[in-house]
Amino acid sequence: MTWLKEPLLHFAVVGAILFGGYSWLNDRHVEATAAEPVRIGEGDLRWLKQTWSSQWLREPTADELKGLVDDLLNEKVMAREAQEMGLEKDDTIIRRRLAQKLKFLVEDTAQLAEPTEAELRQFYAANPAKFETPGKLSFRQVYFNPEHRRDAAADATAALGALSANVEDDSIEGDRLLFGDSFADTDEQALSGMFGADFAHEVVALEPGGWRGPVKSGYGFHLVLVTQRTATTPKPFETVKDAVLAEWRSAKQTELSREYLVELRNKYGVELDDSTKAALGPGAATNVAAQ
């Protein structure tokens, strides 16, 4: 193949490569020239200065500010190029960050809402549990530890019979409990923190005057004698108006976010493939797609 050694062929090949390279570079230059420039504005400078000051407790010098601007420019142009290359696609971190930023925008919008006093009073009346002074109770208890007994529940039931016959019977000995045997002016939240939510919910519903149980907690079984209780009372609207406003805004924020998500799902559509539908089940899959 003597034609492969021809100088004319070599010249043509090199020329084609140079022409192709020049065209590619020229196209890239045209694209870069046509692209919107990366800008640094007053808001960027203010943010850079605030970020620096919060970390170093002083304003940046002129050289330090120049370095911050250079870093921000580099970050922006690299981010722009990464987007051009499609690197943000199917990236979990970027997807979550973008969704988070949009969520913050929706929540900030909800914070701008200003209710009328009539709306606040209506919200106050519809959510009494949020604006009340919780009831308190005083009680005694006898504790039965499952780790020290063969059948703590049975022992507690047997002891209940004796105590029911004589409320003041001191012969019934329970097991030692770190919290003690007597509690005064305790509300449900405090009880929940000590014994668990189920125990607290059951005990605050007991009426004074007799031993009750066994009531189960995370520690074991208890016999409980409520000696005194005060009822839950609502707080006057005027004293909790600020709290009502905060709760109203929180509820409005949740409502607007939910409505906005429904609009977005309707806008873009939701499709679940067969494997996802099978994993969720027919009813759940329908609900997810319809939400």
Query: Is this structure's pTM higher than 0.75?
Result: no
Closest by CA to 266, choosing from 236, 290, 282, 284, is: 290
| 230's tokens | 């005060």
DSSP H helices in the chain = 7-34, 42-56, 62-84, 92-111, 117-126, 152-165, 188-195, 197-204, 241-268, 274-280, 282-290
**pLDDT at position 32, please?**
46
Condensed to tens digits (0 to 9), the pLDDT of residues 80-117 reads 898 888 888 888 898 899 899 988 888 888 777 789 99
- Decide: helix, strand or coil at residue 227: strand
Residue 230: strand pairing partners: 136
* Residue positions counted in the chain: 291
**pLDDT at position 123, please?**
96
**pLDDT at position 14, please?**
41
DSSP H helices in 35-136 = 42-56, 62-84, 92-111, 117-126
Condensed to tens digits (0 to 9), the pLDDT of residues 137-156 reads 999 999 999 999 999 999 99
| Span 135-231 CATH architecture | Roll (3.10)
pLDDT in tens, the chain (291 residues): 444 445 444 444 444 444 444 444 455 444 444 578 889 999 999 999 999 999 999 999 999 999 999 999 999 899 889 888 888 888 889 889 989 998 888 888 877 778 999 999 999 999 998 999 888 999 999 999 999 999 999 999 999 988 887 766 666 788 999 888 999 999 999 999 999 999 999 999 998 988 998 999 999 999 999 999 988 899 999 999 999 999 999 999 889 889 988 898 888 888 878 887 788 787 665 665 566
Could you tell me the CA-to-CA distances from 48 to 40, 55, 71, 135 in Å, in that order? 11, 11, 10, 51
- The domain locations on the chain are 1-32, 33-85, 88-132+236-291, 135-231
Question: What's the angle, vertex CA 48, arms to CA 47 and CA 53, rounded to 5?
Answer: 100
